[in-house]
Amino acid sequence: MSDDLLLLNGKVYTMDPAFPRAEAVAVRGSRILAVGKDDDLREVEQGKEWSVIDLGGRTVLPGFIDCHLHFLWHALSSTRVLLDGAFSLQATLTRVERHVKRAVSGEWVLGWGWSDADWQDAGSPCKEDLDRVAPDNPVALTKKDGHVIWANSLALQMAGIDEETPDPPGGVLERDEDTGQLMGILKEEAMHLINDVTPLPGPETRQEALLGAIGEAQTLGLTGIHDCDGSESLSDYQEMLNKGELGLRVFMMIPRDNLDEVIKVGLRSGFGNERLRIGNVKVFSDGTLGSQTAEMLEPFTGQPGNLGVAAISQDELESVVERAAAGGIACAVHAIGDKANRRVLDAFAKQRQKDTGMTLRHRIEHAQLLHPTDIPRFKELDIIASMQPIHATSDVVLAERYWAGRGDGAYAWKSLLDGGARLAFGSDAPVESMNPLVGIHAAVTRQRADGEPEGGWHPQECLSIAEAVHGYTLGAAYASGEEKKKGSITAGKLADMVILSQDIFHVPPGEMVNTRVLATVFDGNIVYGRDNL
């Protein structure tokens, strides 16, 4: 049960265009009762006990919503070999070997976060390297971008993969150019060959990890997420909801493999309550920049003939979009390369011509590289651009290396916004930091925390602070069909807010990354930071 809460003497940025600034917010139960000036709201104190907090001029924003992450994957990261920040092949292998020594013989060793693009030696991943440090354990290490698995020989054997195994549709089993032998590198849809045989922790372990991740999210000001993980997460969230442990609002994506079953039982996008709702069906159209598997109109620079990987054929993509829309389910399609984005827009255009699902809020996830002629189509087709600002600053080196001369269409937030598109922002955690303030800084400066590149990378695509915050609040709420319930500090809406250590609207942009979340209000309760106020 929520206490009635009265916040006074604050700098409240409501994100409500009808009343953009305020000093005070009154909360009754789980809803915002009133928003206004201190003197006006002090009157509500009369005749009732309130928990009154003097904010001392601190900044208040609507609670942040992360529109794209893999929450269970993030939550379970601590149970796996963490390889992010290992800047050489040898350093990576050392971490694996250290973990193997603590494992039982025959036990799967799973890891995440390696990136050969960051290795400072000339090493390249192959199964023989892992065989040396883990001869008796199957090993499967997911690349930082989540689209490649590096496996040892025992893992391949347990997955039934040998030299005769063909590349699955939309996937690649990398082979030595000279000998044709398997390298132990599985890209895109080929990853399922390994993932289908690796063990998943039981529900008790998963829920314990999720509970810890929810606490972490609350320290970052997050009050909602759009989760792109598998069907196990939906089951876990339902159990946690029943136990009163679901301290975030979850918009749960539907894996493509489950689409037909979801349609058959009659579920629709938006079904659920204020804590847990069914989201869009998640579809992959291509790979990633880091693995050079994004589907391209022109080859990757320095790789003649490499146009990336189409993870799904156009016919199948159009069929999925049409079947989902006919069943009342919106689509969220992963597209990185400019050709993939064009193909997805083409599929949505074909579906929009039909008289079904016209109000569904389809999305393209990432939309990292766009041909200029495709940018206006987001507005024309009413497609949400669900993007992750931190990708732009993390990918600068790779984008300059592999997309040379095409940077004007990369992470084109401002061009999309000026063209009338709707933006919704997220982190893609654990690929990148889950901290929304880091994402806002990236959107505003197009620089890393160290100030590089100087002046920002393609600074014409920088957003204003208000535009960036909108992507994590009202824009995110719109993407889940809940803009009338949350996303702004407005009377009648859910009482989800974040209190910051400084006013990000008025500090130099470079100092924005030093901003801390002092407190988070979720459903009318201060769930983090009461002692900071």
CA distance 140 to 191: 10
**Rounded CA separation 327/306 (Å):** 37
Q: Does the global pTM surpass 0.85? A: yes
| Confidence category of residue 80, pLDDT binned at 50, 70, 90 | confident
CA–CA dist 481, 471 (Å, integer)? 14
User: How far, in Å, CA of 464 to CA of 469, rounded?
Assistant: 9
- In the structure, what pLDDT confidence band is assigned to residue 1 with cuts at 50, 70 and 90? very low
Q: What is the DSSP letter of 164?
A: T
Where is 317: in which H helix or E strand? helix 314-326
Pick from 194, 214, 92: nearest CA to 144: 92
Q: Note whether 336 and 288 are within 8 A (CB).
A: yes
Res 180: pLDDT? 84
- Amino acid in the structure at residue 7: L
Number of neighbouring beta carbons within 10 Å of residue 140: 26
pLDDT for the residue numbered 83? 85
Tokens read off for 122 = 């000339």
In this prediction, residue 117 carries a pLDDT of 81
On whether the 66-70+202-486 domain is CATH 3.20.20.140, my answer is: yes
Residue 408, both tokens? 């004007």
| pLDDT tens, residue by residue, 442-451 | 999 999 999 9
Pick the CATH number of 81-195 from 3.10.690.10, 3.30.930.10, 3.10.310.70, 3.20.20.210: 3.10.310.70
End-to-end Cα distance, the chain: 21
User: To 10 degrees, the CA torsion angle through 271, 225, 475, 323?
Assistant: -40
Domain ranges of the chain: 1-63+488-533, 66-70+202-486, 81-195
pLDDT bucket at 150, cuts 50 / 70 / 90: very high
pLDDT digits (tens, 9 = 90+) for 336-363: 999 999 999 999 999 999 878 889 999 9
Label residue 179 exposed, middle or buried (CB < 10 Å: 0-12, 13-18, 19+). exposed
Handedness of CA 310, 69, 236, 224 (dihedral sign): negative
Average pLDDT over residues 310-314: 96
132 with 90: CB under 8 angstroms? no
Using the predicted structure, report yes or no on whether residue 46 has a pLDDT greater than 70: no
Q: How far apart are CA 156 and CA 60, in angstroms?
A: 52
Sheet holding 222-227, edge to edge: 64-69, 222-227, 249-255, 276-284, 331-335, 363-366, 384-387, 423-425
List the beta bridge partners of residue 387. 425
What is the three-state SS of 483-526? CCCCCCCCCCCECCEEEECCCCCCCCHHHHHHCCEEEEEECCEE
Dist CA 533 CA 530 (whole Å):
6
Q: Is the dihedral of CA 466, 479, 24, 56 positive or negative?
A: negative
Cis peptide bond upstream of 430, omega within 30: yes
Report the alpha-carbon distance of residue 149 to residue 140 in Å, rounded. 6
Tell me, which fold does domain 1-63+488-533 have in CATH? Answer: Urease, subunit C; domain 1 (2.30.40)
Q: How many CA atoms lie within 13 A of 395 on its CB side?
A: 26
Cα distance between residue 479 and residue 162, in whole Å = 43
Q: Which residue in 426, 459, 425, 435 sits closest to 445, CA to CA?
A: 459
CA distance 94 to 480: 43
Q: How far apart are CA 431 and CA 7, in angstroms?
A: 36
Q: Is 323 helix (H, G, I), strand (E, B) or coil?
A: helix
Cβ neighbors of 148 (< 8 A, separation 6 or more) are 142, 185, 186, 187, 188, 191, 291, 293
What is the per-residue pLDDT across 173-210, written as a single tens digit (0 to 9) for each?
999 888 889 999 999 889 889 988 988 889 999 999 99
Q: What is the pLDDT of residues 98-139, one digit of tens each?
A: 988 888 898 899 988 888 888 887 678 999 999 999 999 999
Mean pLDDT within 445-469: 95
| Mean pLDDT, residues 318-329 | 96
Quote the crossing angle between the two packed helices 338-352 and 314-326, to the nearest 10°. 40
Write phi, then psi, for 110 (nearest 5 degrees).
-110, 145
Angstrom distance (rounded) from CA 436 to CA 358: 31
